[in-house]
Structure 1
Amino acid sequence: MPSFLSSLNPRTSTTMTNNPDKTFLYEVIKARKRKREVERVEAGLDVVSPDLVQRVEPLSKGKRNEKQEKKEGGRKERRTVRNDYSQNCVNTGYRPQNYIRDSSVLERFEEYPKLQTLTTLKNSLVRHRSTPPMYLHCDLRTFPLHTLKTRFDVILIDPPLE
Protein backbone atom coordinates (compact mmCIF):
# COMPACT_ATOMS: atom_id res chain seq x y z
CA MET A 1 0.00 0.00 0.00
CA PRO A 2 1.42 3.46 -0.88
CA SER A 3 2.50 5.64 1.99
CA PHE A 4 -0.18 8.27 1.42
CA LEU A 5 -2.89 5.58 1.57
CA SER A 6 -1.52 4.12 4.76
CA SER A 7 -1.65 7.56 6.37
CA LEU A 8 -5.29 7.85 5.27
CA ASN A 9 -6.29 4.37 6.39
CA PRO A 10 -8.51 4.80 9.48
CA ARG A 11 -7.51 1.38 10.80
CA THR A 12 -3.76 2.10 10.79
CA SER A 13 -3.67 5.83 11.43
CA THR A 14 -4.00 7.03 15.00
CA THR A 15 -4.62 10.66 14.07
CA MET A 16 -7.56 9.92 11.82
CA THR A 17 -9.90 7.81 13.90
CA ASN A 18 -12.21 10.70 14.74
CA ASN A 19 -11.97 12.62 11.42
CA PRO A 20 -14.93 11.80 9.12
CA ASP A 21 -13.53 13.82 6.18
CA LYS A 22 -10.37 11.76 5.96
CA THR A 23 -12.34 8.55 6.38
CA PHE A 24 -14.58 9.56 3.49
CA LEU A 25 -11.53 10.44 1.38
CA TYR A 26 -10.03 7.04 2.08
CA GLU A 27 -13.25 5.32 1.05
CA VAL A 28 -13.40 7.33 -2.19
CA ILE A 29 -9.80 6.45 -3.05
CA LYS A 30 -10.45 2.80 -2.28
CA ALA A 31 -13.59 2.76 -4.46
CA ARG A 32 -11.75 4.38 -7.37
CA LYS A 33 -8.93 1.88 -7.07
CA ARG A 34 -11.43 -1.00 -7.07
CA LYS A 35 -13.17 0.47 -10.13
CA ARG A 36 -9.84 0.74 -12.00
CA GLU A 37 -9.04 -2.88 -11.13
CA VAL A 38 -12.41 -4.02 -12.46
CA GLU A 39 -11.97 -2.03 -15.68
CA ARG A 40 -8.51 -3.50 -16.22
CA VAL A 41 -9.83 -7.04 -15.65
CA GLU A 42 -12.72 -6.47 -18.06
CA ALA A 43 -10.30 -5.15 -20.66
CA GLY A 44 -8.11 -8.22 -20.17
CA LEU A 45 -5.10 -6.24 -18.96
CA ASP A 46 -4.79 -7.86 -15.53
CA VAL A 47 -4.80 -11.36 -14.19
CA VAL A 48 -7.94 -11.99 -12.16
CA SER A 49 -7.37 -12.37 -8.45
CA PRO A 50 -9.85 -14.58 -6.51
CA ASP A 51 -11.16 -11.77 -4.30
CA LEU A 52 -11.73 -9.57 -7.35
CA VAL A 53 -13.84 -12.19 -9.13
CA GLN A 54 -16.61 -11.71 -6.58
CA ARG A 55 -16.57 -7.96 -7.11
CA VAL A 56 -16.37 -8.00 -10.91
CA GLU A 57 -19.77 -9.52 -11.63
CA PRO A 58 -22.07 -6.99 -9.93
CA LEU A 59 -20.06 -3.98 -11.08
CA SER A 60 -19.73 -5.11 -14.68
CA LYS A 61 -23.44 -5.95 -14.96
CA GLY A 62 -24.35 -2.54 -13.61
CA LYS A 63 -21.99 -0.84 -15.99
CA ARG A 64 -23.40 -2.71 -18.98
CA ASN A 65 -26.96 -1.93 -17.94
CA GLU A 66 -26.17 1.79 -17.76
CA LYS A 67 -24.67 1.69 -21.25
CA GLN A 68 -27.65 -0.20 -22.62
CA GLU A 69 -30.05 2.24 -21.00
CA LYS A 70 -28.25 5.15 -22.61
CA LYS A 71 -28.48 3.49 -26.02
CA GLU A 72 -32.11 2.45 -25.55
CA GLY A 73 -33.08 5.78 -24.01
CA GLY A 74 -32.54 7.49 -27.32
CA ARG A 75 -29.95 9.91 -26.07
CA LYS A 76 -27.96 11.35 -28.89
CA GLU A 77 -24.30 10.45 -29.08
CA ARG A 78 -21.96 13.31 -28.41
CA ARG A 79 -20.06 14.49 -31.42
CA THR A 80 -17.38 17.09 -31.53
CA VAL A 81 -16.51 19.43 -34.37
CA ARG A 82 -13.71 17.69 -36.20
CA ASN A 83 -11.44 18.93 -38.93
CA ASP A 84 -11.27 16.78 -42.03
CA TYR A 85 -8.52 18.51 -43.92
CA SER A 86 -7.51 15.96 -46.52
CA GLN A 87 -10.97 14.97 -47.74
CA ASN A 88 -12.15 18.56 -48.11
CA CYS A 89 -8.99 19.44 -50.03
CA VAL A 90 -9.60 16.52 -52.40
CA ASN A 91 -13.27 17.42 -52.87
CA THR A 92 -13.03 21.19 -53.28
CA GLY A 93 -9.41 22.08 -53.99
CA TYR A 94 -9.52 24.80 -51.30
CA ARG A 95 -6.96 25.22 -48.55
CA PRO A 96 -7.68 22.65 -45.81
CA GLN A 97 -6.90 25.03 -42.93
CA ASN A 98 -10.12 26.95 -43.55
CA TYR A 99 -12.50 24.00 -43.37
CA ILE A 100 -14.32 22.65 -40.31
CA ARG A 101 -16.54 19.63 -40.81
CA ASP A 102 -20.04 19.39 -39.25
CA SER A 103 -20.21 23.01 -38.17
CA SER A 104 -23.82 23.91 -38.86
CA VAL A 105 -25.19 26.67 -36.66
CA LEU A 106 -27.88 24.48 -35.05
CA GLU A 107 -25.46 21.74 -33.97
CA ARG A 108 -22.39 23.84 -33.21
CA PHE A 109 -22.84 24.04 -29.42
CA GLU A 110 -24.68 20.75 -28.98
CA GLU A 111 -22.12 19.44 -26.48
CA TYR A 112 -21.96 22.68 -24.50
CA PRO A 113 -25.43 23.40 -23.09
CA LYS A 114 -24.46 26.61 -21.28
CA LEU A 115 -22.90 28.07 -24.41
CA GLN A 116 -25.90 26.95 -26.46
CA THR A 117 -28.25 28.71 -24.03
CA LEU A 118 -26.13 31.86 -24.13
CA THR A 119 -26.11 31.87 -27.94
CA THR A 120 -29.88 31.36 -28.07
CA LEU A 121 -30.44 34.25 -25.65
CA LYS A 122 -28.13 36.51 -27.64
CA ASN A 123 -29.87 35.69 -30.92
CA SER A 124 -33.29 36.39 -29.41
CA LEU A 125 -32.09 39.75 -28.04
CA VAL A 126 -30.64 40.74 -31.40
CA ARG A 127 -33.88 39.78 -33.15
CA HIS A 128 -35.94 41.74 -30.62
CA ARG A 129 -33.81 44.91 -30.54
CA SER A 130 -32.63 45.28 -34.13
CA THR A 131 -34.41 47.63 -36.47
CA PRO A 132 -35.78 46.28 -39.72
CA PRO A 133 -33.87 47.20 -42.86
CA MET A 134 -35.09 50.36 -44.55
CA TYR A 135 -35.11 50.59 -48.29
CA LEU A 136 -36.51 52.66 -51.07
CA HIS A 137 -37.30 51.09 -54.38
CA CYS A 138 -37.00 53.86 -56.94
CA ASP A 139 -35.79 54.73 -60.39
CA LEU A 140 -32.45 56.51 -59.95
CA ARG A 141 -32.82 58.44 -63.22
CA THR A 142 -35.98 60.20 -62.10
CA PHE A 143 -35.78 60.29 -58.29
CA PRO A 144 -33.53 62.94 -56.68
CA LEU A 145 -31.89 61.27 -53.64
CA HIS A 146 -30.74 64.62 -52.13
CA THR A 147 -34.37 65.44 -51.27
CA LEU A 148 -34.44 62.71 -48.62
CA LYS A 149 -31.93 64.56 -46.37
CA THR A 150 -30.67 61.25 -45.02
CA ARG A 151 -27.41 59.37 -44.94
CA PHE A 152 -27.12 55.81 -46.09
CA ASP A 153 -24.88 53.05 -44.84
CA VAL A 154 -25.27 51.13 -48.07
CA ILE A 155 -26.63 52.12 -51.43
CA LEU A 156 -27.39 49.07 -53.51
CA ILE A 157 -27.74 49.73 -57.19
CA ASP A 158 -29.14 46.81 -59.08
CA PRO A 159 -27.89 46.94 -62.68
CA PRO A 160 -28.61 47.09 -65.56
CA LEU A 161 -29.90 50.63 -65.70
CA GLU A 162 -31.51 50.79 -69.15
Structure 2
Amino acid sequence: MLILNYWRDGKLCLRPFLFLLMADSVEVISVSTALSLVFLTYREIGKAKNISETARTFHLRILIAATAQTLTPILLVYIPYFLNVTISLFHLYSPFYSALSMLLLSFFPCIDPILIILLIKPYRQGFMRLLGKRNRKIAVVASAFTAT
Protein backbone atom coordinates (compact mmCIF):
# COMPACT_ATOMS: atom_id res chain seq x y z
CA MET A 1 0.00 0.00 0.00
CA LEU A 2 1.22 3.49 -0.77
CA ILE A 3 2.34 5.25 2.39
CA LEU A 4 3.63 8.74 1.91
CA ASN A 5 6.23 10.27 4.18
CA TYR A 6 4.47 13.44 5.27
CA TRP A 7 6.89 14.29 8.05
CA ARG A 8 10.62 14.92 7.77
CA ASP A 9 12.59 16.05 10.76
CA GLY A 10 9.35 16.74 12.63
CA LYS A 11 8.08 19.12 9.95
CA LEU A 12 5.18 18.62 7.57
CA CYS A 13 6.38 18.26 3.97
CA LEU A 14 4.23 20.30 1.65
CA ARG A 15 4.43 18.23 -1.56
CA PRO A 16 3.17 14.89 -0.12
CA PHE A 17 0.55 16.75 1.94
CA LEU A 18 -0.76 18.58 -1.14
CA PHE A 19 -0.87 15.30 -3.05
CA LEU A 20 -2.88 13.75 -0.20
CA LEU A 21 -5.22 16.73 -0.12
CA MET A 22 -5.77 16.56 -3.88
CA ALA A 23 -6.31 12.76 -3.95
CA ASP A 24 -8.68 12.83 -0.96
CA SER A 25 -10.61 15.73 -2.49
CA VAL A 26 -11.08 13.84 -5.76
CA GLU A 27 -12.34 10.79 -3.86
CA VAL A 28 -14.75 12.76 -1.69
CA ILE A 29 -16.09 14.73 -4.66
CA SER A 30 -16.58 11.63 -6.82
CA VAL A 31 -18.30 9.65 -4.05
CA SER A 32 -20.51 12.62 -3.16
CA THR A 33 -21.43 13.15 -6.81
CA ALA A 34 -22.26 9.47 -7.34
CA LEU A 35 -24.42 9.23 -4.22
CA SER A 36 -26.19 12.51 -5.03
CA LEU A 37 -27.02 11.24 -8.51
CA VAL A 38 -28.39 7.99 -7.08
CA PHE A 39 -30.73 9.83 -4.71
CA LEU A 40 -31.82 12.36 -7.34
CA THR A 41 -32.52 9.60 -9.88
CA TYR A 42 -34.50 7.59 -7.34
CA ARG A 43 -36.57 10.66 -6.48
CA GLU A 44 -37.27 11.43 -10.14
CA ILE A 45 -38.30 7.86 -10.88
CA GLY A 46 -40.71 8.05 -7.95
CA LYS A 47 -42.15 11.39 -9.11
CA ALA A 48 -42.54 10.40 -12.78
CA LYS A 49 -46.20 10.22 -13.70
CA ASN A 50 -46.00 9.41 -17.40
CA ILE A 51 -44.40 5.94 -17.16
CA SER A 52 -46.03 2.59 -16.54
CA GLU A 53 -45.39 0.46 -13.46
CA THR A 54 -43.43 -1.98 -15.63
CA ALA A 55 -41.15 0.81 -16.86
CA ARG A 56 -40.81 2.20 -13.32
CA THR A 57 -39.83 -1.24 -12.00
CA PHE A 58 -37.34 -1.66 -14.84
CA HIS A 59 -35.76 1.73 -14.12
CA LEU A 60 -35.55 0.96 -10.40
CA ARG A 61 -33.86 -2.39 -11.08
CA ILE A 62 -31.31 -0.73 -13.36
CA LEU A 63 -30.75 1.98 -10.72
CA ILE A 64 -30.18 -0.69 -8.06
CA ALA A 65 -27.66 -2.47 -10.30
CA ALA A 66 -25.88 0.81 -11.09
CA THR A 67 -25.84 1.72 -7.39
CA ALA A 68 -24.34 -1.67 -6.52
CA GLN A 69 -21.68 -1.14 -9.18
CA THR A 70 -20.97 2.28 -7.66
CA LEU A 71 -20.86 1.12 -4.05
CA THR A 72 -18.57 -1.83 -4.76
CA PRO A 73 -15.48 0.24 -5.64
CA ILE A 74 -16.34 2.76 -2.91
CA LEU A 75 -16.34 0.03 -0.25
CA LEU A 76 -13.55 -2.14 -1.64
CA VAL A 77 -11.18 0.43 -3.16
CA TYR A 78 -11.83 4.06 -2.20
CA ILE A 79 -12.41 3.72 1.54
CA PRO A 80 -9.43 1.37 2.22
CA TYR A 81 -7.15 3.57 0.07
CA PHE A 82 -8.45 6.74 1.71
CA LEU A 83 -7.88 5.39 5.21
CA ASN A 84 -4.47 3.84 4.52
CA VAL A 85 -3.03 6.92 2.88
CA THR A 86 -4.65 9.48 5.18
CA ILE A 87 -3.97 7.61 8.43
CA SER A 88 -0.20 7.84 7.92
CA LEU A 89 -0.49 11.64 8.14
CA PHE A 90 -1.32 11.19 11.83
CA HIS A 91 1.56 8.74 12.48
CA LEU A 92 -0.84 5.82 12.71
CA TYR A 93 -0.30 2.50 10.99
CA SER A 94 -2.06 -0.82 11.34
CA PRO A 95 -0.53 -3.85 9.62
CA PHE A 96 -3.86 -5.67 10.05
CA TYR A 97 -5.83 -2.90 8.35
CA SER A 98 -3.24 -2.62 5.60
CA ALA A 99 -3.48 -6.37 4.91
CA LEU A 100 -7.28 -6.18 5.05
CA SER A 101 -7.20 -3.34 2.54
CA MET A 102 -5.16 -5.42 0.12
CA LEU A 103 -7.59 -8.31 0.54
CA LEU A 104 -10.60 -6.05 -0.12
CA LEU A 105 -8.87 -4.57 -3.15
CA SER A 106 -8.22 -8.03 -4.57
CA PHE A 107 -11.90 -8.97 -4.14
CA PHE A 108 -13.13 -6.06 -6.24
CA PRO A 109 -12.66 -7.57 -9.75
CA CYS A 110 -14.66 -10.70 -8.88
CA ILE A 111 -17.39 -9.17 -6.69
CA ASP A 112 -18.41 -6.53 -9.23
CA PRO A 113 -19.61 -8.99 -11.92
CA ILE A 114 -21.12 -11.32 -9.31
CA LEU A 115 -23.35 -8.49 -8.12
CA ILE A 116 -24.55 -7.83 -11.67
CA ILE A 117 -25.25 -11.53 -12.25
CA LEU A 118 -27.28 -11.65 -9.05
CA LEU A 119 -29.17 -8.40 -9.64
CA ILE A 120 -30.11 -8.64 -13.32
CA LYS A 121 -32.53 -11.44 -14.10
CA PRO A 122 -31.40 -12.38 -17.65
CA TYR A 123 -27.79 -12.69 -16.47
CA ARG A 124 -28.90 -14.67 -13.42
CA GLN A 125 -30.97 -17.03 -15.59
CA GLY A 126 -28.11 -17.47 -18.06
CA PHE A 127 -25.73 -18.28 -15.23
CA MET A 128 -28.16 -20.82 -13.82
CA ARG A 129 -28.42 -22.43 -17.28
CA LEU A 130 -24.62 -22.67 -17.37
CA LEU A 131 -24.79 -24.56 -14.09
CA GLY A 132 -27.35 -26.89 -15.60
CA LYS A 133 -30.27 -25.63 -13.57
CA ARG A 134 -33.23 -24.66 -15.64
CA ASN A 135 -36.38 -22.87 -14.63
CA ARG A 136 -39.03 -25.47 -14.40
CA LYS A 137 -42.38 -24.26 -15.40
CA ILE A 138 -45.35 -26.17 -14.24
CA ALA A 139 -48.33 -25.88 -16.50
CA VAL A 140 -51.69 -26.50 -14.94
CA VAL A 141 -54.11 -27.91 -17.40
CA ALA A 142 -57.67 -27.33 -16.39
CA SER A 143 -59.84 -30.33 -16.86
CA ALA A 144 -63.54 -30.46 -16.53
CA PHE A 145 -65.72 -33.44 -15.96
CA THR A 146 -69.34 -33.41 -16.87
CA ALA A 147 -71.96 -35.81 -15.70
CA THR A 148 -74.63 -36.81 -18.12
TM-score, normalised via structure 2 length: 0.25
The structure with more radius of gyration: 1
| Larger RCO (CA within 8 A; separation ≥ 6) | 2
TM normalised by structure 1 equals: 0.23
